[in-house]
Amino acid sequence: MNKAITKSIVLALLMASTAAVTQAVAPTKKMADQRAKFDLQTQVPSSFGEWRVDPNVVPLQVDPSTQARLDKIYNQTLSRTYINKDGERIMLSIAYGGDQGDNMGVHKPEVCYVAQGFNVRDAHMNDLPTPFGTLPVKQLLATAGARSEPITYWINVGDAVRRPGFDQRMEELKIGLTGMVADGMLVRVSSIDTDTDKAYKLHAAFVRELVAAMPPQDRARLIGVFPG
């Protein structure tokens, strides 16, 4: 049986089998309320290493109806374009929600880019090593006309980064069964490039420099807490 189908069946069964339990142990406390306030605008550095915010380039903007949905779902969003000394640009988009539920899927590139008229293809999982642990990321290519935009993103559920989809939902279920409502953060980096291999390497270098420049407590909110 196809691995993806098997995972979907397992997840459906687990969700069904825990339905009665979650009715009795419905999450009543939000992780977001137990945490120190995290402000994306001030705690995500606007400059680090060789990277600086480029105010002249605005990342992809969503249509008004999608933005209205985002405003209802997320507590905070951040969109910036960074440039390095070589003139290379990286677009960073972060969305944070105090209630990590199915609605957060609206910000996944597979959804929001398609809604903007892009074709999305070549999606695959990958590992992005950092000095603090390896991030499980998803990578894909969004195209529209002559625009080619390789994308790397990950989802932080509570204190752990999980692969989008099955692993993400399993973490949400695990936290929900403790009576807590997980918060979540989706972090996306992308660039305009027809060479996807080169772009993904640049994304990885950017992410490593970004998290290395953040204090431990702020970094943990972005990439989770690694064992060890």
pLDDT at 62: 56
In angstroms, the Cα distances linking 57 to 42, 61, 91, 145, 191 are 20, 11, 9, 19, 12
Which pLDDT belongs to residue 179?
A: 73
- What are the residue boundaries of the structural domains of the chain, listed by start? 26-223
Task: Give the global pTM.
Answer: 0.79
Cβ proximity of 70 and 106 under 8 Å: yes
What pLDDT is recorded for position 144?
95
Encoded tokens for 162: 């999980």
Segment holding 216, helix H or strand E: helix 216-223
**Helices 216-223 + 196-212 axis angle, to 10:** 140
Residue 153: its pLDDT value, please? 95
pLDDT value at residue 160: 77
At residue 20, the pLDDT reads 45
Mean pLDDT per 10-residue run, the chain (228 residues)? 60 51 57 74 94 82 60 74 96 81 63 89 95 94 96 87 75 73 87 97 98 94 79
Q: What is the pLDDT of residue 19?
A: 46
Say what the pLDDT of residue 26 is: 60
Q: Which of 58, 74, 59 is nearest to 107 (CA)?
A: 74
